[in-house]
Amino acid sequence: MHTLLKRRHFLMGLGALTGMGAFTTASQLRHFNKLVPALADSSSIALAAEVALHSSARTKGLIFGAAATYQQLSSNKAYANLFAQQCGMLVPTNELKWQELRPSPGRFNFTRADWMARFARSHGMLFRGHTLVWHKALPNWFASTVNKQNAEKYLREHISRVAGHYAGQMHSWDVVNEAIDLQVQRADQLRNTPWLRFLGPEYIDLAFRAAAEADPQALLVYNDFAIEHDTPQAEAKRTAVLRLLERLKSRGTPVQALGIQSHLFGHPDGVKFTQIRRFLRNVADLGLQIMITELDVNDQQLPRDAAVRDRAVAKIYADFLSAVLDEPAVIAVMTWGLSDRYTWLANRKPRGDGGGLRPLPFDEQLRPKPAWQSLASAIAQAPSRSSQPGLPIPTRFPDIQGHWAQGYIQALADKNIISGFPDGTFKPNAPVTRAEFAAIVTKAFPKASQNNPSIEFVDISQSFWGYSAIQTAVRRGFLVGYPGRIFQPSQQIPRVQVVVALASGLNLSSNNTNVLSFYQDAAQIPNYATNKVAAATQRRMVVNYPTARQLNPNRNATRAEVAAFVYQALVDAGQAQPINSPYLVRV
């Protein structure tokens, strides 16, 4: 009760502030400092865990996420956990840029990006692509290889290979990044990039069309920076970006969203975000969605004292988010990293006074800062979005986090094959009835090839909720051999029957039952099941927790186990990517 009250109190405190204009005087800044609690005390750490940004965002139909690198997520367990806890979407910082994907003109290396896609999927996060076309992060071979004659071929090939590789898995793609440059002497203010020099302004249209072809499901984004603050330069750039988007739309180019990078900065005189509101409206009026794609606040010019600085940064987060989240077309907020430990700004220009930069919602020790509170508060105050374009926001069950079958359960939930309970949990260790299993298997395999005669079971009436699923599962060959037409729909299904059902539906059988010797308890496999279990084993459909060599054939299957078996059956049927697990039997 105590924490809850405290949380409400400060969320409200901050909320009241989000509507205020920028601080222009030191006294206003002091006032704000008093309202925001001291940074990183233990209650704010507990609070951040309790009120994960992605889950509060989700209740508003919003996405919260962040950028990370393979290196950070794979080497720092605490960071990976924090990331999974707070974020509903992951964007690789560099791993999808040309430089990292293309070691040579003919080779693509997806290893790291694929690892990140799996990390996102197994933690119930969306995955986002950055970026297909950019003038930076090009590989060394680019300049000596790509020219006017072959540029179109290279661009098309890149987009079809890369966007095609992740087709169906990407929430959104930054198709073109940073194409506007106010310094150039061109009416359209298109940046002088190799693509512009080789292909002319149409390179942008070409890129969007190629991306739409390669991945029709991803939201296609034009992404740019320095269009946030109330400055004349930013206003000029907003105008140039808007003109570009208008031209693209008028040509029928499939651009679907604007990404606003939002690398904000603090200034001793304070900063404001009033002009951006009209811009957002104009962008939305073009029929485009808007994403905040790379939010952070450069605190280079703010006072050295960390607590003072954190509050000033938090104020900028609050003011900016209140402006952008008021616009219903804004569907997502992504920060460029989650912790100051990994801010990209540190490598660019350190503070002159030796103090580390503090631009992100968590400090170097992964403790939430006032900027985190601004995010939490702004999300809590944001009006609800009715529906989200792009891939659906995945459901995330609290009771499967860290569970051995998390990846399998999440993947099936994302495919809408299984779902949780009304209280939001999944109950991975609960048993599964035969009727429930029939419902899962018919959803998982909507197009099975067999067409067996249906059976009217004596113990299932047509009004039973599972009637049609059971009928379908029988016709598709998943449920076989019911003497006396007795189904027993409410009986819990044992593991061996799950395996036999899946092998039957997929038409698998094997005379080579030698593989069964892998199981220490092979003797317990009923005779009728040996050929099917052998086939399923060979085809990597069997997952045994906690001991791979213990099949426990006659034990009732849990929901987690059914998810693992069904998922691996989908893999066997070529309808899903394998998920590795120490419990997956490989013989």
SS (H, E, C) 392-425: CCCCCCHHHCCCCCHHHHHHHHHCCCCCCCCCCC
* Binding-site string for ligand XIL from residue 265 to residue 294, where x marks contact by CB under 6 A and - marks none: -----------------------------x
Give the nearer residue to ligand XIL in terms of CB position, either 94 or 401: 94
CB neighbours of residue 8 within 10 Å: 11
Q: Is 72 in the site for ligand XIL (CB under 6 A)?
A: no
DSSP calls for 217-267:
TSEEEEEE-S-SSSSHHHHHHHHHHHHHHHHHHHTT----EEEE--EEE--
178 CB-side CA count, 13 A? 16
Report in angstroms how near the CB of residue 354 gets to ligand XIL at its nearest: 22
Q: Is 99 in the site for ligand XIL (CB under 6 A)?
A: no
- The secondary element (H helix, E strand) that includes residue 297 is strand 289-298
Q: Is 261 in the site for ligand XIL (CB under 6 A)?
A: yes
User: Among residues 438, 506, 502, 492, which one has the least CA distance to residue 469?
Assistant: 438
Report in angstroms how near the CB of residue 265 gets to ligand XIL at its nearest: 13
Q: How far, in Å, CA of 419 to CA of 203, rounded?
A: 43
Q: Is 339 in the site for ligand XIL (CB under 6 A)?
A: no
CB 158 within 8 A of CB 210: no
Q: Is 517 helix (H, G, I), strand (E, B) or coil?
A: helix
Report in angstroms how near the CB of residue 344 gets to ligand XIL at its nearest: 3
Q: How far, in Å, CA of 352 to CA of 578, rounded?
A: 50
Residues 431/432/433/438 CA torsion (nearest 10 deg): -170
Report in angstroms how near the CB of residue 8 gets to ligand XIL at its nearest: 36
Q: How far is CA 119 from the centre of its chain?
A: 9
Q: How far, in Å, CA of 352 to CA of 480, rounded?
A: 74
Give the nearer residue to ligand XIL in terms of CB position, either 66 or 533: 66
C-beta nearest to ligand XIL: residue: 344
Q: How many residues bind ligand XIL (CB under 6 A)?
A: 7
CB 157 within 8 A of CB 145: no
Which amino acid, residue 368? P
Give the nearer residue to ligand XIL in terms of CB position, either 347 or 451: 347
Report in angstroms how near the CB of residue 91 gets to ligand XIL at its nearest: 9
Q: Is 177 in the site for ligand XIL (CB under 6 A)?
A: yes
Give the nearer residue to ligand XIL in terms of CB position, either 127 or 225: 225
Give the nearer residue to ligand XIL in terms of CB position, either 60 or 191: 191
User: 94, 122, 239, 488: which one contacts ligand XIL (CB under 6 A)?
Assistant: 94
Q: How far, in Å, CA of 226 to CA of 300, rounded?
A: 16
* Binding-site string for ligand XIL from residue 417 to residue 446, where x marks contact by CB under 6 A and - marks none: ------------------------------
Joined tokens for residue 268 = 């001793």
* Binding-site string for ligand XIL from residue 297 to residue 336, where x marks contact by CB under 6 A and - marks none: ----------------------------------------
339: which DSSP letter?
Answer: B
Please confirm, yes or no, whether 294 is among the known catalytic residues: yes
Q: Is 172 in the site for ligand XIL (CB under 6 A)?
A: no
By CB under 6 A, the residues from 208 to 237 that bind ligand XIL are 225
Joined tokens for residue 20 = 């205020």
Give the nearer residue to ligand XIL in terms of CB position, either 195 or 344: 344
Q: Is 342 in the site for ligand XIL (CB under 6 A)?
A: no
Catalytic residue of the set 95, 100, 178, 294:
294
Beta-bridge partner residues of 334: 65
Give the nearer residue to ligand XIL in terms of CB position, either 335 or 442: 335
Under the rule (CB under 6 A), what is the footprint of ligand XIL?
93-94, 177, 225, 261, 294, 344
Q: Which residues are designated catalytic?
A: 294
